[in-house]
Amino acid sequence: MRSRLPYGMLSLSMLVALVATGCSQSTAGTATPGAPAVAPVGVAGGGQFNGNDKAAIAYDRALVPKSAQASLTAESVGNATVTSLVVEGFLRNRAYGAHLHAKPCGANPQAAGPHFKNGHDEVWLDFRTDGNGIGHATTRHDWQLDPANLPQSLVIHAAPGDSAPRIACLTLHRR
């Protein structure tokens, strides 16, 4: 979903709520008749990288302006997990790397620990911003998040892939 509204008209939280609602509704009714219901499992996080938000930490101000913000939802329903990321206020027309990590954010970029994995699978959300600094990414996996082992952060890298420097981190919380 690409926003055609001028920058700032559609708030980040409203956009993420729309994406999350759409994802939840699109997976409703997928349970097998007679099978036990599986409760949705998920994580979410959001914040502005302005230096005042402890859940959203910027490590590189040249690539993550104080106006930058991000919001992420990951939800499992049945045997499917949909993860959606929306960012705005980032540098215009630029590619960034992003993926989920095993530990919460900290003052040091390495605090988020290793990549979050489900078996050998990882959740990658690399994105490219448009001319207004807005970007988004959505992934779908055919597995369910384990409530005992949830991702705890989203790390944003200076470029797609995991070898580029970590430039920002968003702490996630169980939904």
pLDDT at 43 over 90: yes
pLDDT at 110 over 60: yes
Class of the CATH domain delimited by 12-24+40-174? mainly beta
How many alpha carbons lie under 13 Å from residue 137 in its C-beta half-sphere?
18
Tokens (6 digits) for 14: 């409203």
pLDDT digits (tens, 9 = 90+) for 116-132: 999 999 999 999 999 99
Domain ranges of the chain: 12-24+40-174
pLDDT at 30 over 50: no
pTM of the entire predicted model = 0.80
pLDDT digits (tens, 9 = 90+) for 143-172: 999 999 999 999 999 999 878 999 999 999
Tokens (6 digits) for 58: 């910027």
